[in-house]
Structure 1
């Protein structure tokens, strides 16, 4: 039905190839599973920056701040509601509270002495990776590089 009706920014042959892919049983099956999974855990996809990537958001925050932004600052900025400051889900709130507790347990009560990011504290707060992904890292961040550096 959509073949031949490509958006202006996409070449027609590319669009038609995508339509062919989307029409396959395998793709439709995977899409159905993904949609079901999103309804089971809607908080897994909640963040407040829309389609802006974490990298682009970090650069914007660093420009506004005039210096580096920690991953914790970035995560909190992207997972708090702009109008209320509340976390987007109870899971996110509990995870950040646990991360803060882990940082105190591991590095003491003086937050000025804490490292910018502690991968082991993050893992203790979020749980072990599932399917190679760490909560809060999305699919665009290299969790393996950060976690293996600890």
Structure 2
């Protein structure tokens, strides 16, 4: 248990030792190895530039730098672009904002006010939620309302398509 001597200062020592004992058992080690293989097999799915800094902290720092609240797009770019360049960390990080921007351009007439974030358009651009999470939202945003609203709108779209395909009865 090499990590035993590196307990976080904010965690009681006895809790840390208990965690280390749990992490050392065989089932946990197997699970850890599977997760490690999955991360290395699909590195583009696990990339952002936030490091161990929370999205909330990044948002506060960006707010301080800009001297105003950052837009969702600015925040996404900050957490998904390489530092010092304009390059996104992955292909999906590049294409999702582009898809979102096209959807917004189609949805809102030029010159009309647009929301900072249209959650339904963003979820569509990401390809939908995966395991109850939405790409780009991080842990700081509560997605419950977004996902329930998204599920309702998807159901309505399917219903409209179904009704449009039905032969009309006169």
Q: Same fold (TM over 0.5)?
A: yes
- Gap runs ≥5 in structure 1: none
Please say which of residues 115-124 and 34-43 is displaced more in the overlay.
34-43
Residue in 2 that maps onto 1:73:
74
2:35 maps to 34
C-alpha deviation, 1:149, in angstroms: 5.7
Corresponding residue number in structure 2 for 1:123: 123
What is the alpha-carbon root mean square deviation over aligned residues?
2.2
Task: Give the 5 Å matches for 1:17-96.
Answer: 17-96=18-97
Residue pair 1:70, 1:116 contacting (<8 A) in 2 also: yes
Q: 1:3 to 1:73 in 2, by over 3 A?
A: closer
Contact 1:6 1:15 survives alignment (8 Å): no
Work out the CA distance in 2 between the residues paired with 1:124 and 1:15: 41
Q: Structure 1 residues 86, 24: closer, same or farther in 2, change over 3 A? A: same
Distance 1:120 1:8 in 2: 39
The answer as to 2:13 corresponding to 1:12 is yes
Residues in 2 aligned to 1:8 and 1:81: alpha-carbon distance in whole angstroms: 28
Stretches of structure 2 that go unaligned for 5 or more consecutive residues are 151-170
- Which secondary structure state, in structure 2, belongs to the residue aligned with residue 113 of structure 1? coil
Q: How much has 1:6 moved relative to structure 2?
A: 4.8
Displacement of 1:66: 1.4
Alignment match, 2:142: 142
Q: Which runs of 4+ in 1 moved over 2 A?
A: 1-12, 138-141, 145-150
| Number of residue pairs matched by the alignment | 149
Provide TM-score, normalisation by structure 2. Answer: 0.76
Q: Which has the larger radius of gyration?
A: 2
1:54-108 Cα deviation digits (max 9, x unpaired): 1111111112211111222101111111222111111111111101111111113
Residues of 2 paired with 1:136 and 1:117: CA distance? 12
